[in-house]
Structure 1
Amino acid sequence: MIILALLLSAIFLILSAIHIYWALGGDAGKTAAIPVKDDGQRSFTPSKTGTLAVALALFCFAVLVFCIGVQNITVLRPLGWLLALVLFLRAIGDFKLIGFFKRPSASVFARNDSRFYSPLCLLLAAGILYISL
């Protein structure tokens, strides 16, 4: 279980680092990470502050998973269940732009979401639920 918790924490740290890179002006992969509406326009334009907030949240998720799975701080397990639920719901999606049940789209984001982002969210949810039980 410790190895799984370390792996999950590392994934969250990598995702956090990517968001910090974007907030500091990096462009690689940025366009493939934002959902696109039917008219081809981005669904939103992330601010630097918002991107840093996501990076901070991802860092906190890494710490939470580490505390639950490595340090065995049992009082935090309900937060692990909540995080697993949020990630599971992200994988399911909004039935429009994100998740397994989004409307069909030929955008780069939609392809990446089906291949990588939603499956990753589902695997993260399963792993976090496992270490939180």
Structure 2
Amino acid sequence: MQILCKTLLTIIFSGIGAMHFFWAFGGLWGKQLAIPTTSDGVPLLDPGFGACVVVGLFFVALLLLTHINLSRFVPLLYERVLWGIIALIFFARAMGDFQYVGLFKQVAQTDFAYHDTLYYTPLCLLVFSLIVVKIAVR
């Protein structure tokens, strides 16, 4: 089970990180569908180079953490707490802001909302679940 969780997390973190680096360096494919918009189609964010790089680096760090056994350096409890915090971040993203993002969004008629419902929120719930299993199995 541990190997399955690590493999799936590796694939997910690599893909999301690579996509953010792609956007940081000028790629446009999929970027419009990844930014929440108002019901009038006005983007709520305008992530530039820096924001995309920071998010990309966050996912690279998660990718590395997936394969490093931190308990060799810090107590296992601290490693579990760290993974617990990361899991809660993905759970919070899945729940959303109750307006434009997540399970309880109110604005649900935009292209972003469609993709959020179909892909982004379930992916966040999957990552949350994989991390919970990773913590529990260890």
Q: Work out whether the TM-score is over 0.5.
A: yes
Residue of structure 2 equivalent to 1:108: 111
How many residue pairs end up in the alignment?
130
- Per the TM alignment, residue 39 of structure 1 is displaced from its structure 2 partner at its CA by 2.9
Contact 2:96 2:103 in 1 (8 A): yes
Query: Which residue in 2 is equivalent to 1:132?
Result: 135
Q: Is the 8 A contact 2:35 2:44 kept in 1?
A: yes
- Percent identical residues: 35
Report the CA distance shift for 1:42/1:98 in structure 2 as closer, same or farther (over 3 A): same
Q: How much has 1:44 moved relative to structure 2?
A: 1.2
Displacement of 1:38 after TM fit?
A: 2.9
**Corresponding residue for residue 34 of structure 1:** 35
Gaps of 5+ in 2: none
* Equivalent residue number for residue 26 of structure 2: 25
Matched residue, 1:81? 84
Aligned residues of 2:38 and 2:107 also touching (Cα < 8 A): no
Query: What does residue 61 of structure 1 align with?
Result: 62
Deviation at 1:62, TM superposition (A): 1.4
Q: Report the aligned-residue RMSD.
A: 1.3
Maintained 8 Å contact 1:19/1:51? yes
Q: Report deviation, 1:72.
A: 6.8
Contact 1:96 1:102 in 2 (8 A): yes
Q: TM-score, normalised by structure 2?
A: 0.88
CA distance in 2: counterparts of 1:15 and 1:47, whole angstroms: 16
Task: Report how far residue 5 of structure 1 moved.
Answer: 1.0
In the TM superposition, structure 1's runs of 4+ consecutive aligned residues that sit over 2 Å from their partners are 71-75
Alpha-carbon distance between aligned partners in 2 of 1:51 and 1:27, rounded to the nearest angstrom: 12
Q: TM-score with structure 1 length normalisation? A: 0.91
**Residue of structure 2 equivalent to 1:122:** 125
C-alpha separation in 2, matches of 1:11 and 1:130: 16
**Residues 62-121 of structure 1: CA deviation (Å, up to 9, x unaligned):** 112222xxx473342211111111101110111001001001322111000001100000
